[in-house]
Amino acid sequence: MKRKLLVVGALVVVLAVIIVLLTGRGKSDTLKIGTIMSTSGPVSHFGTQCRDAMLLAIDEFNARGGVLGKQVELIAEDDEKNPEKTMNALIKLITKDKVKVVLGGLTSDCTLAITKEAQQRGILLFTPTSTNDSVTDAGDLIFRACFKDSFQGQVMAQFAIENLGAKKAAILYDMNNDYSTGLMKSFEETFTAFGGTVVASESYAGGDKDFNAQITKIKAGDPDVLFLPDYYNTISLITKQVRNQGLDVIMLGPDGWDELVGQAGEEAVGGYYCNHYSPDADDPDVVEFVRKYRERYGVTPNALAALGYDATYIVLEAIERAGTDDPQKLKAALMETDKKYVTGHITFDANRNPVKSTTILKVVKGADGKLTTEYVGMVNPE
Ligand code: PHE
């Protein structure tokens, strides 16, 4: 009888061990970080590179023994650049995966859809890339690794006047997108404040493919420059139609133009945009990052990748400093950030926005006939 009991007891223990292993309870030793990136949909080049760079950064931490003695695990969700899906992904990460920190979203419209919810639920939300000014307004748990749209709009307007000698500008923007309208406003304000005239400000709705009517009106204003605040997929259509109508104007854009060189043709040559870094810079942090990313993924990392890598480092280093991923303590540790990363030196202002510079790039034709970018200059915040 005693023997039987012992055997049954041993069996129970074995079963319990098997159950723990199978349900992944044994894995609870990882530090889980969530991310919501648009790895499919219209800006998938952005989302994929940003997520891949996060994985690269996390592997570097894990190779050194992890964070707080645990291996870091990235739980990656795809929102297809659809704000409703960004919200679903956030809820899933919080309720199912029980993460306390989320890196995301990618574009401003998607991030703006979740900032209030994240703040209310006490989650630390750190967007690597969303530049719209109001992204961090929802509360003290929302941070970002990039500069704001008011800064890039202002930089491009000032560049047009001071460096290109522009007097007349036109703007063509997406009236339904916060990123596009925010940029339109800051460009217009600065261009006018510096003595220029905005001769045409035309709009379209996201998803539109034919911009000919607006371009005809813009042409009538005879502008020196045309500011196009949108992402590469739309810009590659607009630049073609601008040239097809024979409009000879210098085109200017924001960070959403990143990847344009891979998507557009001859018509984009001569355009200028501002971005978060140049992969050609000789800064040792940039050189090292570009080398590692190319080695692992076989392509040159875009600005989204550089920001994803930096955001991961900033957050994981703050978790190490805080000794926990508890959002309240992590927030305080993040505010102490004061270090040079790939996209520049990062410190946070009172509203959790980094104070950092921007790089102006020119779209040129490379020796191999393919489009590429040329470094023009760097602009520091005032
Ligand atoms: N800043 C863009 C947004 O807020 C996203 C982006 C970041 C695009 C970096 C290109 C480079 O929507």
Ranges of each domain in the chain: 30-147+282-351, 150-275+360-379
What's the gap in Å between 130 CA and the centre of ligand 1?
5
Longest dimension (CA), the chain: 100
- Domain 150-275+360-379, CATH: 3.40.50.2300
Please report which helix (H) or strand (E) contains residue 227, including its range. strand 225-227
What pLDDT was estimated at residue 24? Answer: 46
| Domain 30-147+282-351 belongs in CATH node 3.30.590.10 | no
Q: Identify which of 36, 114, 115, 130 to mutate to test ligand 1's pocket (most ligand atoms within 8 A of the CB).
A: 130
Report the atom number in ligand 1 closest to the C-alpha of 130: 4
Asked, colleague to colleague, whether 30-147+282-351 and 150-275+360-379 share their fold, the answer is yes
Task: State the distance from the centre of ligand 1 to the C-alpha of 37, rounded, in angstroms.
Answer: 12
Q: Atom 5 of ligand 1 has which residue's CA nearest to it?
A: 107
Spell out the per-residue pLDDT of the chain, length 382, in tens: 555 655 555 545 554 555 555 544 444 599 999 999 999 999 999 999 999 999 999 999 999 999 999 999 999 999 999 999 999 999 999 999 999 999 999 999 999 999 999 999 999 999 999 999 999 999 999 999 999 999 999 999 999 999 999 999 999 999 999 999 999 999 999 999 999 999 999 999 999 999 999 999 999 999 999 999 999 999 999 999 999 999 999 999 999 999 999 888 899 999 999 999 999 999 999 999 999 999 999 999 999 999 999 999 999 999 999 999 999 999 999 999 999 999 999 999 999 999 999 999 999 999 999 999 999 999 998 7
Protein residues whose CB sits closer than 6 Å to any atom of ligand 1: 46, 107-108, 129-132, 179, 255-256, 258, 276, 303-304
Task: Give the per-residue pLDDT at 382.
Answer: 76
Among 43, 46, 81, 186, which residue has the most ligand 1 atoms within 8 Å of its CB, making it the best to mutate?
Answer: 46
Q: What confidence score (pLDDT) does residue 25 get?
A: 46
| Residue minimizing CA distance to atom 12 of ligand 1 | 107
* Environment class of 376 (CB within 10 Å of its CB; exposed 0-12, middle 13-18, buried 19+): middle
Distances (CA, A) of 28 to 15, 21, 72, 326: 19, 10, 11, 16
Ligand 1 atom having least distance to the Cα of 107: 12
Q: What distance in Å separates the CA atoms of residue 7 and residue 12, rounded to the nearest whole number?
A: 9
For residue 13, the model assigns a pLDDT of 53
